Amino acid sequence: MTEEFEVTPYKVSGEVDYDELVDRFGTKKIDDDLIDRLARHGPLHIMLRRGIFYSHRDLDWVLDQYDKGVGFTLYTGRGPSGPVHIGHTMPWLFTKYLQDTFKASLWFQLTDDEKFMFYDHLSLEETKRWGYENALDIIALGFDPDLTNIFLDTEYIKTMYPTAVKAAKRINFSTIRAVFGFDNSNNIGSIFFTSIQTVPCFLESMQRESNVPCLIPCGIDQDPHFRVTRDIAEGLGFLKPALVHAKLMPSLAGSEKMSTSTKGEDTVFMTDDEATTKRKIMNAFTGGRVSVEEQRREGGNPEICAVYQYCLYYFEPDDAKLAELHASCQSGSILCGECKSRLFDKVWKFLENHQVAREKAKDRIEEFFVRD
Amino acid sequence: MTEEFEVTPYKVSGEVDYDELVDRFGTKKIDDDLIDRLARHGPLHIMLRRGIFYSHRDLDWVLDQYDKGVGFTLYTGRGPSGPVHIGHTMPWLFTKYLQDTFKASLWFQLTDDEKFMFYDHLSLEETKRWGYENALDIIALGFDPDLTNIFLDTEYIKTMYPTAVKAAKRINFSTIRAVFGFDNSNNIGSIFFTSIQTVPCFLESMQRESNVPCLIPCGIDQDPHFRVTRDIAEGLGFLKPALVHAKLMPSLAGSEKMSTSTKGEDTVFMTDDEATTKRKIMNAFTGGRVSVEEQRREGGNPEICAVYQYCLYYFEPDDAKLAELHASCQSGSILCGECKSRLFDKVWKFLENHQVAREKAKDRIEEFFVRD
């Protein structure tokens, strides 16, 4: 029997059953037909192959529109409450794949207002500063500057506010209570916020003064925002945004969603140095046994192992090697230390390259940012 | 026994007992000392003499600040949902008196976002258009262009939004329920709105980067917004705004607050022509009797008479003449037709001058407007 779990943009708790979540949210699984269809546009992304991006709303329709020559725009975002970690970058790397494959424009929202209103300990000045810090990580991933618009809510509000207000008029507090689990103790900014979150779905259409389909790659925890958006989009004269949903990357402690609210030891930040990265990975939660002897005899459990999950999500792109790793773990022929060390090499190579690109990004902010 | 009544920025119902409202809202009456103090700065405004502006919060403190040389700024506003009527201009004329007397700067907010979110039948484009229409009436009243900043919320949102978000973080839905009588069926824009309404109290301080006392002249129905503001102002690093409250001008039908939601026959708009103005005033509700004979015998009742109220509020500035009118009505020596005709002459003179100034205001918009 499945343990109780809860998933909203503001709370993930319990052991998430991703298949059940598809039923609960009323989304669709990405099926083999859709996978085949995506594969015809270019090499299939690892996160599609591995079922990390596994759920969608109207992704088939977006591909129809693309095939008809209408094209589509992409929208994703980041709540700038602290440094970016590896888990954050997973949907962004997937977004880059979509941009590269479909030559799609991208609206990248930094919700400095949201993070300020939801976190007691952060000032608006701090979330804005984190927005610019986080933008360096976004730019470093290699998005096309000609196709990418990064913006902070507080710096793009004049453009967004009229549409946000039109959205807000169509959403009552009953809906917010039901969708986000809010109550009377929520502040009125947090209650209003989903109407700001709605607008980037329509920014390309607003700019072109003509409706453009929008596809949102995001963690499935963000889906509730866009269920609200989809309910009101047509009433506002826009197309319903489509979504493609990822499972949430586990932390190094093995929990459902990497979080920056721990002291940071469960999470590899994009700016961590080599020693820090090594320490964190070497301390990761694994599916190993209490002793070497027992592990050699009984084998480990890759399914609950954070190190294996990291490989699965991104860090072992070779499917054959991943399968081998899985088997070796189960048979007891590989021990956790070796696996961790192997993962560290891959993660550190990724971070090292990223950190070089991130330095260069400091001179490239203006190539990407849009402001009122 | 007092009839049940309700006063919020969004609903005025029943027969308002203004003395009781002071107790309910926890404001203070403007007493003789305060009247004397105001009189020392220049001729006392008719609406102070007549007890139309009758309640306040911290007006004495604002005068202290003025006497110390600190000065103060003024803030008032208009919800642009239709044409301006005479009732709207009463607090604005009082605001002009304050500006002239104390050489105070003025922030005049046009809440196009609010009126759109609260009225089903209005589009945001319409409320914005009404904003510019209404601004002509505001400018025509003679505010000092060097001291006056008029702005539409949607055009000044980039300046206001960060502070609105900081305000919103400190206000929860429980407070909104209690203060405005909202419930779960309210849209999330209407719930958020009071945080936008809060910001103009601080605009002068934000612009000068130094705290400036703010005085808000307004109808007492608007007080709840600023009770919320006063609760959070110091937490945001600003001074609590002070208020001076007016009673609500009755309509020509004799009800508590003039309203543009009737078909307009109970209300004289600033752009009404002579014939329309005459028709409306000649059809006004009075305290007259059913027949001339009865009125000559029993006298009329000026207390319930809309024509008398118009004279009291503004249109008979001579206190001796007003007293004479009151007595003549009660004694039956003057009949309603004569009173109406007398009022019409005064109102039409006021409107005629206004309409000339309003035409000229069309070329003066840019002297007054501020935008992001």
Report pLDDT digits (tens) over A180-236: 999 999 999 999 999 999 999 999 999 999 999 999 999 999 999 999 999 999 999
**Rounded average pLDDT per 10-residue block, chain B, 372 residues:** 79 91 97 97 96 98 97 97 96 98 98 97 97 98 98 98 98 95 95 97 98 97 95 98 95 68 83 97 92 92 94 95 96 94 98 98 98 96
Question: Is 3.30.420.40 the CATH number for A15-248?
Answer: no
Residue A1 has pLDDT above 80, yes or no: no
Please report how the helices B274-282 and B336-361 are oriented relative to each other, as an axis angle in degrees rounded to 10: 150
CA pair distance A150, B23, nearest whole angstrom? 52
- pTM, entire model: 0.94
Report yes or no: A370 at the B interface, CB cutoff 8 Å: no
User: A172, B187: Cβ pair inside 8 Å?
Assistant: yes
Residue with tokens 């529109």: A65
| pLDDT score recorded for residue A237 | 98
Please, is A126 exposed, middle or buried when counting C-beta atoms within 10 Å of its C-beta (0-12, 13-18, 19+)?
middle
Residue A372 has its nearest CB partner, among B113, B191, B372, at B372
User: Cα A123 vs. chain centroid, distance in angstroms?
Assistant: 24
Fold held by B274-359 = Tyrosyl-Transfer RNA Synthetase (1.10.240)
Q: Boundaries of CATH 3.40.50.620 in chain A?
A: 15-248
Distance from CA of A81 to the nearest CA of B (A): 16
Q: Boundaries of CATH 3.40.50.620 in chain B?
A: 6-248
| pLDDT score recorded for residue B81 | 96
Report yes or no: B114 at the A interface, CB cutoff 8 Å: no
Q: Locate the chain B residue with the closest alpha carbon to A190.
A: B169
Distance from CA of B184 to the nearest CA of A (A): 5
Residue A255 has pLDDT above 70, yes or no: no
Amino acid at position A338, single letter: E
Confidence of residue A3 (pLDDT cuts 50, 70, 90): low
Report yes or no: A184 at the B interface, CB cutoff 8 Å: yes
- What radius of gyration, in Å, describes the C-alpha atoms of chain B? 21
Q: Locate the chain A residue with the closest alpha carbon to B120.
A: A169
Confidence of residue A132 (pLDDT cuts 50, 70, 90): very high
Report yes or no: A194 at the B interface, CB cutoff 8 Å: yes
Q: Boundaries of CATH 1.10.240.10 in chain A?
A: 274-359
| pLDDT score recorded for residue A180 | 92
Residue A143 has pLDDT above 50, yes or no: yes
| pLDDT score recorded for residue B216 | 98
| pLDDT score recorded for residue A257 | 55
Q: ipTM beyond 0.85?
A: yes
Strands (E), chain A: 6-8, 11-13, 28-29, 53-57, 73-78, 105-110, 148-152, 214-219, 242-246
Summary mean pLDDT of chain A: 95
The two structure tokens encoding residue B255: 């009800």
b/e B21-39 (16+ beta carbons within 10 angstroms → b):
bbeebebeebeeebeebbe
Residue A159 has pLDDT above 60, yes or no: yes
The residues, ordered by sequence, that sit 6+ positions from B121 with a Cβ below 8 Å of its Cβ are none
- What radius of gyration, in Å, describes the C-alpha atoms of chain A? 21
Task: With beta carbons under 8 A apart, name residues in chain B contacting A155.
Answer: 158
User: Cα B350 vs. chain centroid, distance in angstroms?
Assistant: 18
Whether A163 and B187 have beta carbons less than 8 Å apart is answered as: no
User: A187, B170: Cβ pair inside 8 Å?
Assistant: yes
Task: With beta carbons under 8 A apart, name residues in chain A contacting B172.
Answer: 184-188
> Model confidence over A15-59: pLDDT tens digits?
899 999 999 999 999 999 999 999 999 999 999 999 999 999 999
Whether A91 and A244 have beta carbons less than 8 Å apart is answered as: no
Residue A345 has pLDDT above 50, yes or no: yes
Of B112, B119, B187, B198, which to mutate for an interface test with A (greatest number of A Cβ within 10 Å)?
A: B187
Superfamily of domain B6-248: HUPs (3.40.50.620)
Task: With beta carbons under 8 A apart, name residues in chain A contacting B191.
Answer: 173, 188, 191-192
> Model confidence over A79-101: pLDDT tens digits?
999 999 999 999 999 999 999 99
Report CA torsion sign: B13, B17, B20, B25: positive
Residue B166 has its nearest CB partner, among A124, A191, A192, at A124
Please give the torsion angle defined by the CA atoms of residues B321, B326, B328 and B330, in that order, rounded to the nearest 10 degrees.
-170
**CA A156 to each of CA A162, A227, B67, B114, B160: distance values in angstroms, whole numbers, following the listed order:** 11, 23, 42, 20, 13
Q: Are strands B6-8 and B11-13 parallel, antiparallel or unpaired?
A: antiparallel
Confidence of residue A2 (pLDDT cuts 50, 70, 90): low
Residue A263 has pLDDT above 90, yes or no: no
Task: With beta carbons under 8 A apart, name residues in chain B contacting A206.
Answer: none
